[in-house]
Structures are given as C-alpha cells and as structure tokens.
Amino acid sequence: MHVYDLIVHSLTYFQRDKQDRRRLICAVATEPLPKQVEESKMDAPKEIFLKDYKLPDYYFDSVDLTFLLGDEKTIVSSKITVLPRVEGSSSPLVLDGADLKLLSVKVNGEELKNGDYHLESRHLTILSPPSGKFTLEIVTEIYPQKNTSLEGLYKSSGNFCTQCEAEGFRKITYYQDRPDIMAKYTVRIEADKSLYPVLLSNGNLLEQGDLEGGKHYVLWEDPFKKPCYLFALVAGQLESRDDMFVTRSGRNVSLRIWTPAQDVPKTAHAMYSLKAAMKWDEDVFGLEYDLDLFNIVAVPDFDMGAMENKSLNIFNSKLVLASPETASDADYAAILRVIGHEYFHNWTGNRVTCRDWFQLSLKEGLTVFRDQEFSSDMGSRTVKRISDVSRLRISQFPQDAGPMAHPVQPHSYIKMDNFYTVTVYQKGAEAVRMYKTLLGSQGFRKGMDLYFKRHDGQAVTCEDFFAAMRDANDADFANFLQWYSQAGTPLVKVTSSYDAEAHTFTLKFSQEVPPTPGQPVKEPMFIPVVLGLLDTSGKDMPLSSVYHDGALKSIASGSQPAYSTILRVTKVRAHR
C-alpha cells in the first residue's frame, strides 16, 4: 500500500496483516460523532467479486479542493469536472461518502434541491446529471478531531493527517472512491498560522500567504492524474531537514523530511536513503522523479507504517528516525528499505496504478520486489535473499497452508482492508522475481519499459503487466498467470540419475499444489528452475546441451561456456 504493511514494527522486521497491527494512536479523542452524521444502521457486509468489475459511468478530469481547518470542525469544498464515459449518457452519478455532513450540492453552478439527489448513509446519488461534461460542487462538514477510524482526515497530537488507502477519501468528501478514477488535483488549505504553521499536500507549492484573523493559506497543484487514495494533507507544528537531489536530466528537486522539532537530528539516515533510492531508480530502471518537491512526514501517531501518497509520503516515526545510540543495524536496514519502497511507488503504483483493489499486488508485489533489489544492491545480495526467503517461509507459507489461504489476486472480498497480506505482498514479489529469472535483467528491463510506455497515467491490471513482459520479449509464459489466480504453495519433488557411460544427468520433476479453501482442484504451475552442476571440488561445470520440452537444445553461446540454464516446469510431471 501504499502503506508498507509488511514491516510495521517497533524495532524488528516482524510482519503482520493489517487487522493484526497494534494501533499506534494514543491521543485521538474518543467522543462519538455528532448526531447529524451518525449512521442510522451499518450496512450489512457485502461480498465483492472480481468478475463483477464494471467500468465507471463517469470519469473525473480535475478536482479542486478547499479545506478550512478548524478545531471543532473542518469545511471541505470540492469542485469536480465530470465527464461521462459514454457521450450523451445521463445515468445517475453515485458518490461514496461516510461520516459526512452535506451542506450543499451544485451542478454547473446551480444548487440542487432534495428531489435532484438522493442521500443515504454511504452514498450521495445525483439523479439526473447533464448529458455531457459538467461541473459538480459539493460542500461537506467533517470532524477530524473525533475521527477515531484513522481513515480520511483525522487529528492527533495537535496535527491534521490523512490516510486514504484503501477507502478513506470518502470520509473527506463525496466522491467516486475507486482507484480507476484518476484526476488532477489542486488543493487550497486555510488554517490558524500559530497552530498549524506547516500546511502540506500533494504536488508543487504554487503560492502561500497570510489571511485576516491570524490565518494563512497555501495552494498546491499536482499536475499528474492520480486516484483519490493517493491524496494527502498534513497540517501542524513540524520542522524539516532539507536537501537537494539533481536528476539525471539536470532538474533540481527539493527534498524535505518533516518531523516534530526534537526528531529532526534523527532523520539523516532517512534522507540518505531517499537520495540513494532516487539515484538507484534512475540507474536500474531509468525512472526519474517527476516533480520539483518531494516531502516525507514522520509522526509518532501515524497508524499505517508508511504511505506512498504522491510527493507527500507519510510515515510512522519508527520507520524514519534512527540514531546510533538507540538503533540497530536491522533498524537502519528497515528504514532504507521502507523509504525506498514508498519512493518506488511513485512509478509502480502512482504513475501506473491499479484498476481495482483486486489488482493490489500489481503495485505492492512489484514494489516489494523493487525494494528487495534496492536493498540487495545497497548491501549484501546473498544475505538479503536469505532474509527474504526466511520471512516468506515463516509468514507466507503458513498462510498459504491454512484456512486464510488466498491467491495473489483474490477473487472476492468483504472488507478491502483484509487484502493487505503477506501473500499479496511477499508472494506477489516472488511472482515478479520469476519474470526476472525467466527473462534475465535485460529482458525484465525491456518489459518494465514497455509497461510504462503503454500504461503511464492509467489504472491497469496484473494481466497488463504480464502482457508487457511477454510482448517486450516475445516470450511464451504458458500458464504463468496461475501464480495470481491460484492459492497454495506448490510442492516440487525432484529425483536425479547419472549415466556415466553416456555422460548424461537426468532430472525428473513432479509438482502438486495442495487444495485450499474454495479451490479443491489445482492446475499445474509454471515453475522456473535454474540448473547448474558442480564438480567434486565445488566448481561450476560447463553445460553443453539440455533435453527440454521434447527437444535437445544447445546451451553454450558461441565460444563462451554456459554454467547454468533455466528449466521450465509447467506440467504435473516432467523429465529433463
């Protein structure tokens, strides 16, 4: 996520699912919401299915937001440019909302009356929108200081903060709260200057100034389309460590890490990690940062671990702050990894995002793989791989073998928050790693380049990523997508024999995927196996040819010997 759920921890790498995370907020008020925004009755849980996905009837082109932050209440005004997906369509426009007090609704500047819209506890429906492009203006009243859900906009320890992934934006204003609605945002924030001297949101800072009554304002613009789950706002008493990064094209990017004043000295390693991540993404994937400013906010009472909001990453302090007196090597490594993870989302998650939440591993599995590669290049690749595999076996294998087993791309959910699991993250990363194993570093880079060329600025699917890898390399991946649709850990058995006279070494593979809840019958998986031989002294032996898929294939390339090859196990039983 956006949020790096897998390493929300105190000073360890212990992983836990989102529902099991210990709440870090200690200072949020617990009074009930005012009566006017109480829901009369909670909607019954409803199972959502991947097969039922439908394109939205309307898209949003631009969103202008104004926040009047107050101690008792906050007024949120939105102005949205709405486009029908099908020209001439005027079907009802259904907006999501929760814990909101609606003050007014306007279409093309005219205020709607009660008969023009229908308001429920979780939805606002515009009954007969104009048939073409139109402007929708909505004003809501919210109560961040009483928001104990820690979703949407809430206030804690004197600071305003947001968390909108997965479905928190609907607690800020009425909106189509789904990731395939991508729009350009402009955000104006007004607040008391003495109480909230720092006012942050996504994108570049356009202007700021003082207002009457001891207040001030800022205006932020994000020129790149994004889904609402990446919206962020922070306001409060913070100070920053400032630095600069020069991109490979020569642009200067201002870097700021914001914390309470006493914590600024502990952000040096985080700033080093950010700059290292920016340089690594340019060198390895050719991906350059795209704005003039990159902000990180680290506060002690952010519940989610870390969140990759466009240009305004928000972290729990434990994943940013470090000093030699109190931090271990593992703490420094965790900060490097998580800072990198959230930064890498700028392209794998933000510039190219998920069509729907069933595609969560499209951004999270891919970005975990990228942070693993980053940490490997910054340290010991062997040690990092051992650590990742150990964590996979300790945390993900039991999930795959238990009653909560689910595919990397689940087929249904009741509550979206339950999707943030080691299977979606860690097993999803292993699926991405298999692409690289099959294609090599150059082939994988070709696939990534095509993926961004095709889908920059779009909300896409795991199948789109698969197609980019396949098409960029003219590759046959057979039944590879089973890794996304099928739960369970494959069991692979290998027997071998050596014919001394013929100088042939034979391997026999068989695979089995145990039944899991909802999937009693399993299909064979696509399993790449890297094969090499060692002599009696432990040295690599050159390989000449391999009998694979019914044909004898040469391995050596010209005069250069080959010491390994990749076998593709795609059936229940195979001989190599």
What are the catalytic residues? 342
Residue 185: what residue type?
Answer: Y
The full length of the chain comes to: 576
Task: For tokens 């890498």, name the residue.
Answer: 344
Query: CA–CA separation, 31 vs 146, rounded Å?
Result: 6
CA–chain centroid gap for 182, Å, is 15
Query: CA–CA separation, 399 vs 402, rounded Å?
Result: 5
Query: CA–CA separation, 467 vs 450, rounded Å?
Result: 9
E-only strand ranges, 270-359: 293-299, 306-307, 312-316, 353-354
Distances in Å between the alpha carbon of 333 and those of 56, 157, 314, 380, 476? 42, 28, 19, 11, 37
- Name, in order, each residue with C-beta under 8 angstroms of 212's C-beta and a sequence gap of 6 or more: none
Q: Is 187 exposed, middle or buried (0-12, 13-18, 19+ CB in 10 A)?
A: buried
Question: Phi and psi (nearest 5°) for 271?
Answer: -65, -40
Distances in Å between the alpha carbon of 501 and those of 48, 479, 505, 554, 576? 61, 37, 11, 20, 18
Closest listed residue to residue 269, CA positions, set 309, 306, 324, 344: 324
* DSSP letter (8 states) at residue 79: E
Closest listed residue to residue 316, CA positions, set 555, 24, 6, 11: 24
Q: Is 565 exposed, middle or buried (0-12, 13-18, 19+ CB in 10 A)?
A: middle
Residue 465, both tokens:
């990523």
Closest listed residue to residue 228, CA positions, set 366, 354, 361: 354
Closest listed residue to residue 409, CA positions, set 51, 128, 18: 51
Residue 72: what residue type?
Answer: E
Closest listed residue to residue 266, CA positions, set 233, 224, 298, 228: 298
Closest listed residue to residue 412, CA positions, set 120, 53, 121: 53
Gyration radius (Cα) of the chain, Å: 26
Element (H, E) at 157: none
Burial 231-256 (b: 16+ CB within 10 A, else e): bbbbbbebbbbebebeeeeeeebbbb
Task: For tokens 């014919």, name the residue.
Answer: 499
Residue 127, both tokens:
């009954």
What DSSP line would sit under 30-62, residue for residue?
-PPPPGGG--SSPPPP--EEGGG----SEEEEE
